[in-house]
Chains A and B, each alone.
Chain A
Amino acid sequence: MDLLAFAAERRAEIAALAAEHVVLVLVATAIALAVGLPLGIAMTRSPRVARPVLAVVNVAQTIPSLALFGFLIPVPLIGGVGARSAIVALAAYALLPIVRNTYTGILQVDRAVVEAATGMGMTGGQRLRLVELPLALPVILAGVRVATVISVGTATIAAAIGAGGLGTYVFRGLATVDTRLILAGAIPAAALALGADALLGAVQRARRPARAAGLLALAAAAALAVLQAPALRPAAPAVVVGSKNFTEQVVLGEVLGALLEEKGFRVQRRLNLGGTTLCHAALRAGEIALYVEYTGTALTEILKRPGSSDPVRVYDEVASAYAELGLRVSRPLGFDNSYALVVRPSVAAERGLRTISDLARHARDLRVGLFGEFLEREDGMAGLTKAYGFRFARPPVEMDLGLLYPALASGQVDVAVGSATDGLIAAMDLVVLEDDRRYFPPYDAVVVMNVERLAEHPGIEAAVDALAGRLDAPTMRRLNHAVDGEHRSPAEVAREFLGTAGVVRP
């Protein structure tokens, strides 16, 4: 009932996200058809190209979507942050079933029928249009059906690159440990997939599949026109604010957005982008004008330089290296979002855990949960175990950031690697182990900005500077908790903070 009430309350937003979702899928499928159909036909005409083309579309489908987005962000015209990249990626995934089915569909047409058509005096084009395509249609339609259903599912990933769609709820829900949000995104997406499957299935079984397919295409075009393609509107000359895909980042994105709006800028939000690498690529390409980064992350992960435990040195090094990339770094916002090793209070009490050094003695029988990034990073798991000289008996359990705290609370893991400002630490009364050897480098939050975009919108830097030193760790933890624990919207929490902090009028 809770979920139903929630969905009813948000129905307008859910409908808008579903509309974006449908637009993404329709446009991507249309492009895949426009490319894949001629490609499949060409392959039947010159068999020598068939094998290499099939190999290429096969490979396209195996590229992980986030990696594909990473490639696309700096690409002009088809790339960038937003719907275009998402559509290109979705179309690339939809290509394989369409190309393959067009190719095999035409090849399986009885050669005798084709020869009869030639014997009747058909030209190559007439044979294709009147005989081969109609007879291959059921197979081609099966390919379109598969492609569409895959697209509906994959389009949830589009949220990672700021293209909207129902994935926005899924990602936001994962980031804020809000099951209702996840379901409010996932259930309509699943319903869309089933609906698309049923619709295309009906077309396949229709007495005249060609006519049914034509009608469906018309209906799809009409739907596209009605939905007005909100995801496709050309980027307005607005200031684009980005954020990574976890609660704190979304809240900070909303803080920056509200602050700039208050100063009279038109703001476009591209929040919940899929990770540090994506955000940085988007910032460098100018696809987003600014987002909040952490000095330690910038130094080790983006700049690939050795870490340091001196916050001032880290800040200076990052600021000067960023300047060379055409990026500017604001003064620190006031909190240090370092990694935190977090345990349940009962575990801390039973084993007398206060510092990470204490943990080292019990590492053999504790299970640790962490998110993928931490395993990969220079300053992550490998460095940590080396610095403290311990080793967990079992390999760490890798999971999404949003699933980490529920796993810790339910006892599936004993130690979670989170961040120092996670709102759930306060909300769940968890114990943060002290980094007594000062292994983790400083992660001072700073706003990073694209210099070109700053020049286009003078005044951003001054506005952002008003935030310097205004956000300490307890404040940030409180804001995070308001979202994670109290399930309030990040936008509302951000506006409230700006009001009470006196940065802008409440």
Chain B
Amino acid sequence: MAVVELRDVSKRYASGVLALDRVGFAVESGRVLVLLGTSGSGKTTALKTVNGLVTPEAGEVTVLGRRVAAWDGVELRRRIGYVIQEVGLLPHLTVRENVELVPRLLGWPPERRQERSRELLALVGLQPERHGEAAPSQLSGGERQRVGLARALAADPPLLLMDEPFGALDPLTRRRLQDEFKDLQRRLGKTVLLVTHDVPEALRLADEVVVMDLGRVVQSGPPAAVRAAPEPGFVADFFRAALA
């Protein structure tokens, strides 16, 4: 069953740029779909049509069995974990408060929230006692990304949207977090839509890769298949440059 499905989705920005041009793909339950492309390819815009931050002009986006247009935006977004690079954490709240944010919006009682945040911080490899009361600015980049993931998982959403979640990390930390994430995803069985410009990352994490260029899907398929036979032109160039 597809948890997320885009069909012929188009979006033109006020500047006249065509950000999405009849984009279509589907994310099956429990699978990781990676949108891969250079900056300006439209991959982040496509991701934002899923949680309603961007409204397409044409085409249809279906999430959790209902068209996005039919969802109440707030209601929908509370069922989706959202992980963004760097800026995602609210700078005026502590790590614990950040993780408890969505449960708080959902009106969970304080004890249940605290229990959940301890559990999640431990799950992503942080120490609740040591990191919980720190400000995001006091953490390292890798620790911040772990907190971002913990926050996205806080209300146990079936679907995670991740926008360059490991972007601002050094190669070693990135590699370690990718492995931990993959492991965690398998254990928890979450459906994930992840955006990246990093070809090795896409190949490592994806069950399905969708390559985008200039607002269009140019190739999609299992990572091994895409890697073995990239479409001549953009995809082949992109892969060659990235994997050289």
Contact = CB atoms under 8 A, between A and B. Distances in A.
A131 B90 contact: yes
A116 B91 contact: no
Nearest to B81: A120
B53 A120 contact: no
Nearest to A126: B105
A135 B105 contact: no
A117 interface: yes
Interface residues of B, number: 21
Interface residues on A, range: 10 to 19
A116 B82 CA distance: 8
Given A121-B77, A126-B105, A115 B53 contact: yes
B53 A119 contact: yes
B74 A121 contact: yes
Contact of A120 (B75, B87, B101): B101
A179 interface: no
Contact of B84 (A119, A122, A123, A130): A119
Interface in A118-169: 118-123, 126, 130-131, 134-135
A116 B105 contact: no
Contacts of A126: 105
B51 interface: yes
B102 interface: yes
A116 B89 CA distance: 8
Contacts of A123: 74
Contacts, number: 48
B118 interface: no
B137 to A, nearest CB: 13
A131 B91 CA distance: 9
A119 B77 contact: yes
A112 interface: yes
Contacts of B101: 120, 130
Contacts of B105: 120-122, 126
Contact of A110 (B77, B87, B102): B87
A104 to B, nearest CB: 18
Contacts of A49: none
Interface in A86-123: 110, 112-113, 115-123
Nearest to B161: A119
Given A126-B105, A134-B92, A119 B87 contact: no
A118 B77 contact: yes
Contacts of A118: 53, 77
B155 to A, nearest CB: 9
B130 to A, nearest CB: 19
A123 B51 CA distance: 14
Nearest to A124: B74
Given A113-B90, A134-B92, A135-B92, A121 B102 contact: yes
Nearest to A119: B82
Interface string B39-81: 0000000000001010000000000000000000011111110
A327 to B, nearest CB: 61
Contact of A119 (B51, B75, B91, B92): B51
B88 interface: yes
B87 A116 contact: yes
Nearest to A210: B92
A134 B78 CA distance: 22
Nearest to A123: B74
Given A120-B102, A121-B77, A113 B87 contact: yes
Interface of A: 110, 112-113, 115-123, 126, 130-131, 134-135
14 contacts: A116-B82, A116-B87, A116-B90, A118-B53, A119-B53, A119-B82, A120-B77, A120-B151, A121-B77, A121-B79, A122-B74, A122-B105, A130-B101, A135-B92
Given A110-B87, A116-B82, A121-B78, 17 more contacts: A112-B87, A113-B90, A115-B53, A116-B84, A116-B88, A119-B82, A120-B77, A120-B78, A120-B101, A120-B102, A121-B76, A121-B105, A122-B74, A122-B105, A134-B92, A135-B91, A135-B92
The 6 closest A-B pairs by CB, nearest first: A121-B78, A121-B77, A112-B87, A119-B82, A134-B92, A116-B88
